[in-house]
Amino acid sequence: MKTIPGKSLLPSLCALALIALPSAAGSDKTDISERGVPHFEAPIPPGAHVALHLRSGDIRIVGSENGKLTVDISGKNKNNIDDLRYRLISSGNNAELHVSGGPRNDLNIEVHIPRNSELYARISAGDVTIENIIGSKDVELHAGDLTINVGNPQDYSSVEASVNAGDISAAPFGEEHGGLFRSFHKSGPGKFTLYAHVGAGDLTLR
């Protein structure tokens, strides 16, 4: 590099450093992958938007107080999980977890997230229970039975529930439906939203 007599390079170097700083400071993305273990955990912020993409199984999603996202595996095939994969991608106030692979059946999956999270969940098949989560919920189950403990029905501004084939039981909202392509929509005074859909199976809001 050529220099001009009597001229310092320090201002130019400082300018380059300042240009690089925003990129380094804004780089808060985390990408964690694990495989073949019965327990997975990572910290996520309270009130985060949590997206879960889960393989089939008997699944329980629970709100907790410890500020972590955790997954615990049990069931008859809990020792045959060499190919079970976890991937958590988080950035800012968003966290996205994928659980895939592993044995085809006889697997129980329990997921804990902070109880005041916004939950988005897409699950292929199984019996699914969601409880103790205070926040908006957007849940789709392709096949199986879905049960959501909704808490106080007055906490929701919008509730939309549907099944392609099966029954809807939603006592807190005064709704009962059965058959093909059943749905209902409610509006309320709260600040949260609830969307729940089952392809083939029963949907219970309680």
84's tokens:
């079970």
Note the Cα 26 to chain centre separation in Å. Answer: 23
Strand ranges for 36-117 from DSSP E = 39-43, 49-54, 57-64, 68-74, 85-91, 94-100, 108-114
Q: Domain range for residue 59? A: 26-135
Domain count, the chain: 2
- Residue 8 domain-assigned? no
CB 89 within 8 A of CB 29: yes
**Are residues 152 and 92 both part of a single domain?**
no
**Are residues 77 and 176 both part of a single domain?**
no
**Are residues 123 and 201 both part of a single domain?**
no
117's tokens:
């999270």
Q: What is the pLDDT along the chain (206 residues), one digit of tens a residue?
A: 444 444 443 444 333 333 333 333 345 788 999 999 999 999 998 889 999 999 999 999 999 998 899 999 999 999 999 999 999 999 999 999 999 999 999 999 999 999 999 999 999 999 999 999 999 999 999 999 999 999 999 999 999 999 999 999 999 999 999 999 999 999 999 999 999 999 999 999 99
Task: Name the helix (H) or strand (E) containing 141.
Answer: strand 137-148
